[in-house]
Amino acid sequence: MRYLALLMVMTTTAFLSAQVKLIDPGQRPEAPPAPPVFKLKIHKQAAPSSALRYRLYPETRELVEGNAAQSYYRAFAPKWQRLTHAKDYAEKSEKWLNQPLSEFQEKEVSFAQHQAGEVRQGSLKTYCEWELTPRFRDKGFETLLPEIQGFRELARVLALDCRAQLKTGRLDKAIEDVRSGLIFGRHVADGPTLIQGLVGVACASMMAPRLEEILQQPGSPNLYWALANLPKPLIDFRKPLEGEKIVMDFFLPGFREMLKVKKPQAMSQEQLLACVDRFHRLTEEQKESGFSDLMKKAGFSAMAALNQPAAVKLLSEHGLDAKHVEKLPPLQTVFLAELLTYDQIFDEMLKRRGAPLPLLREKLMDLEKTMKQPLPKVASPIPLGTLSRLVVPAVQRAMLAPYRLERKLAALQTIEAIRLQAAKDKAWPASPEQVTMVPLPCDPETGKPFPFLKEGKRIVLMVGPPAGEKPLYYNSYSYELELE
């Protein structure tokens, strides 16, 4: 699957799943699913005698020199893949992951131990380098990434092995599987494409249900400090976001360098038509349209002529010599202005990447509103800024993906704080104010601890929706903690 097509699928899945389905006239639309409720049975548990006896992130002394990607690719060995590609595997694996642990038969998933072992080895390597950046520069949106979706399956295999370890009472090994899964997700996301970032988040997120299962086991260790010592955020999107700009270097090679000089050199017609061809391949217009290549290229030239005055004005404001730019081929001028617009909007988005989530979300919403405003009316049917409006919104949605995982991990750490406090006081805390032994983690959405309330023999912990949004199944949930 080509890169851009896969990106569009990945970044719109959550959005489309929340939309109302098409219905027949007179039929009432289905209500969106209610926010889920996770019911857990928990017991009081103090921290281990050595606070970091159990870790969800490896110590430096544990690391082994080498590239983790080699171990992960080894996990794709054909012999092992044959088992996970069986016709009924998807249905069976779903059952194995969701059935009660008492019904789970670890022998049925014995095939998972070899692949899981390779992922564990990879998670202890000193670095992970996928060597995709050179390919991305060379092939752009045509870069093939056949292995990316397969990484989800490796995370699933690790989750199955975790359940097998739990069923046989090996809590240490189960925790090790969760740790490996979290690091595996972090490694998967450490690449130059947002697809890798999104799949990395998905892989690491598969470990959250396993953590929920672990902390319910009799005698399970308290993992508050293990969770507290994870990197924040666990999945860093710096490399995927910055890598997205490489796509434009593929479409318009050398144009960013032209934007740094006052008088860029004029390009030949052959060079400009090569850029046009790349855009045509992106939209596959050559297959869908009955027009000849000549007509298509003429259409681009007409668009350039209509947009040239606006392009010259924008480029001169950027610092290029207006008189010189007016003499450049119109198509080159328009491409330069389109790339400048793209970079300005993209940088406006990226500069806030490290901001607190509420501020980041607010600014991204403001930027989205700005981009939804009509473009200035010009003679051209494709005015300047069109490309940015097609690409940037998908990137904006992807920027928020790591925080869903952060909220889940913070909620689980809150549960461990409750268990710690209960072990100390010999009684369950009734509200966040009664947890004084350790700091309660903050909800990334609010910057405040998650609210919870004791109701009889249970505690209800709420993970609310972002400010201004309705509580829906994809943005909020609650934990009902049955107290043992």
Query: pLDDT for 205-215, tens place per residue?
Result: 999 999 999 99
pLDDT at 234: 96
228-256 pLDDT tens trace: 999 999 999 999 999 888 888 988 999 99
Tell me if 164 is assigned to some domain: yes
pLDDT at 9: 36
Residue 18, classed as helix, strand or coil, is: coil
Number of domains observed in the structure of the chain: 2
State whether 317 and 183 are in the same domain. Answer: no
Length in residues, the chain = 484
Which residues are registered as beta bridge partners of 387?
none
pLDDT at 374: 67
State whether 174 and 261 are in the same domain. Answer: no
Dihedrals φ, ψ of 138, to 5°? -80, -40
pLDDT at 294: 44
In angstroms, the CA 344 to CA 320 distance is: 16
pLDDT at 296: 55
Q: Which residue has the higher pLDDT, 220 or 365?
A: 220
Tell me if 314 is assigned to some domain: yes
State whether 60 and 193 are in the same domain. Answer: yes
State whether 133 and 185 are in the same domain. Answer: yes
Residue range(s) defining the domain that contains residue 252: 245-352
> How do beta strands 64-67 and 125-127 pair?
parallel
State whether 215 and 257 are in the same domain. Answer: no
Which residues are registered as beta bridge partners of 462?
478
State whether 68 and 210 are in the same domain. Answer: yes
Dihedrals φ, ψ of 448, to 5°? -125, 160
Tell me if 106 is assigned to some domain: yes
State whether 61 and 206 are in the same domain. Answer: yes
pLDDT at 51 over 50: yes
pLDDT at 332: 92
**Concatenated DSSP letters of 178-207:** HHHHHHHHHHHT-SSSHHHHHHHHHHHHTT
Question: Averaged over 452-481, what is the pLDDT?
Answer: 91
Last residue of a domain, one of 325, 352, 379: 352
In this structure, what token pair is assigned to residue 83?
A: 């088992």
Last residue of a domain, one of 352, 375, 396: 352
State whether 85 and 192 are in the same domain. Answer: yes
Last residue of a domain, one of 334, 352, 370: 352
pLDDT at 469: 84
State whether 194 and 274 are in the same domain. Answer: no
11-31 pLDDT tens trace: 333 332 323 333 344 455 566
In this structure, what token pair is assigned to residue 354?
A: 């490290």
Question: Averaged over 258-265, what is the pLDDT?
Answer: 95
Tell me if 415 is assigned to some domain: no
Tell me if 31 is assigned to some domain: no
pLDDT at 117: 94
Tell me if 93 is assigned to some domain: yes
* 223 conformational bin, left if phi > 0, alpha if psi -120 to 50, beta if neither: alpha
Q: Which residue has the higher pLDDT, 450 or 374?
A: 450
pLDDT at 108 over 70: yes
pTM, 2 dp: 0.87
State whether 168 and 205 are in the same domain. Answer: yes
372-422 pLDDT tens trace: 776 665 555 567 777 777 777 778 888 889 999 999 999 999 999 999 999
* Mean pLDDT of all residues belonging to the chain: 86
Helices 386-399/3-17 angle, 10° precision? 60
State whether 251 and 193 are in the same domain. Answer: no
pLDDT at 25: 41
Tell me if 463 is assigned to some domain: no
In angstroms, the CA 325 to CA 383 distance is: 19
State whether 76 and 166 are in the same domain. Answer: yes
423-432 pLDDT tens trace: 999 999 999 9
Listed in sequence order, the residues at least 6 apart from 54 whose beta carbon sits closer than 8 Å to its beta carbon are 48, 172, 175, 221, 223, 226
Q: Which residue has the higher pLDDT, 178 or 9?
A: 178
Tell me if 417 is assigned to some domain: no
Contact present, 407 and 443 (Cβ < 8 Å): yes
pLDDT band at residue 343 using 50, 70 and 90 as cut-offs: very high
pLDDT at 279: 78
pLDDT at 174 over 50: yes
